[in-house]
Amino acid sequence: MNRRLVLGGSALVLVAGAAVLAVLAVDVLRWRGHLEEADMRYAAGTGALRMWEPGDTWLPGATRTLLGVEDDVELRRALQRFRLARVRQAPRTQQEVNLRSAVEADLARLGRGDGEAGQKSLAAVLRGALAFEEARLGGEEPTIFLRRSLTAFREAIRLDPTNEDAKYDLELVLRLLQTVSGDTSGGTGAQRGNVTARGAGSGSSGSGF
């Protein structure tokens, strides 16, 4: 009797495992080409944050992990929130302030994650852009935000030395700091010479954020 129970229990486990694998297989098929299609929709408009995942998956978290697309989805959502936050304009409502805080938290989390260096470099550029816009919009201590921006752009270049936008933005912030306070190091002890000749200051293709 005990043996029958054991065999029956084992059979149930096998059936359940097979069912989970079948569900995962279906979910994986639903992901096929989805990010590319969502990218095209995003290029035409902001869309909804949920657009980056198929809406009819059964095990979304497990499928994202299996496919290794967690960081890809999170980066796209952060980019979308960055656009929605309209960082070049002063926030007018508490909701807009909260959205900017959420964007900053998203980008910081991506920077600490295990994503590819290029993705983390882009997240650092966007963090630098947020700090730069805080300085430009007339904060009480613009040089503090400029130095934060400088640190973020340097981090972006460290992560991806080919990031021309980061180099362009770094040059811009260095010049602004020199104009505002005569400081070209941003309080980090680094010198302007860290930016190579390929940077924006030498007429590279980088155009900044």
Instruction: Classify burial at 133, counting beta carbons within 10 Å of its beta carbon; exposed 0-12, middle 13-18, buried 19 or more.
Output: buried
Candidates 67, 52, 73, 62; CA nearest to 23 is 62
Q: Is residue 23 part of a domain?
A: no
Q: How much of the chain, in percent, has pLDDT values that exceed 90? A: 21
Q: Is residue 36 part of a domain?
A: no
pLDDT at 37: 86
Complete DSSP assignment for 84-143: HTTTTS---SHHHHHHHHHHHHHHHHHHHSS--HHHHHHHHHHHHHHHHHHHHTT-S-HH
Least confident of 67-71, 132-136, 156-160, 205-209: 205-209
Q: Is residue 35 part of a domain?
A: no
pLDDT at 170: 94
**Separation in Å, CA 157 to CA 24, 78, 125, 127, 132:** 38, 20, 9, 13, 17
pLDDT tens digits, one per residue of 108-118: 988 888 888 99
Question: Which domain does 141 fall in, by range?
Answer: 57-202
pLDDT at 190: 36
Q: Is residue 144 part of a domain?
A: yes
Summarize the confidence of residues 19-38 as an average pLDDT.
72
When the pLDDT of each residue in the chain is averaged and rounded to a whole number, the result is 76
Q: Is residue 32 part of a domain?
A: no
Number of separate domains in the chain:
1
pLDDT tens digits, one per residue of 149-189: 999 999 999 999 999 999 999 999 999 888 876 655 544 43
pLDDT tens digits, one per residue of 48-74: 878 878 877 766 777 777 777 788 888
Residues across the chain:
209
* The overall pTM is greater than 0.75: no
Q: Is residue 98 part of a domain?
A: yes
Summarize the confidence of residues 2-6 as an average pLDDT.
51
Please check whether residue 67 is in contact with residue 28, taking contact to mean a CB–CB distance below 8 angstroms: yes
If one compares 141 and 135, the residue with the highest pLDDT of the two is 135
Q: Is residue 2 part of a domain?
A: no
What is the spatial distance between Cα 35 and Cα 42, in angstroms, rounded to a whole number? 10
Q: Which token pair is 167?
A: 């180099």
Q: How much of the chain, in percent, has pLDDT values that exceed 70? A: 69
Q: Is residue 73 part of a domain?
A: yes
What is the spatial distance between Cα 34 and Cα 28, in angstroms, rounded to a whole number? 10
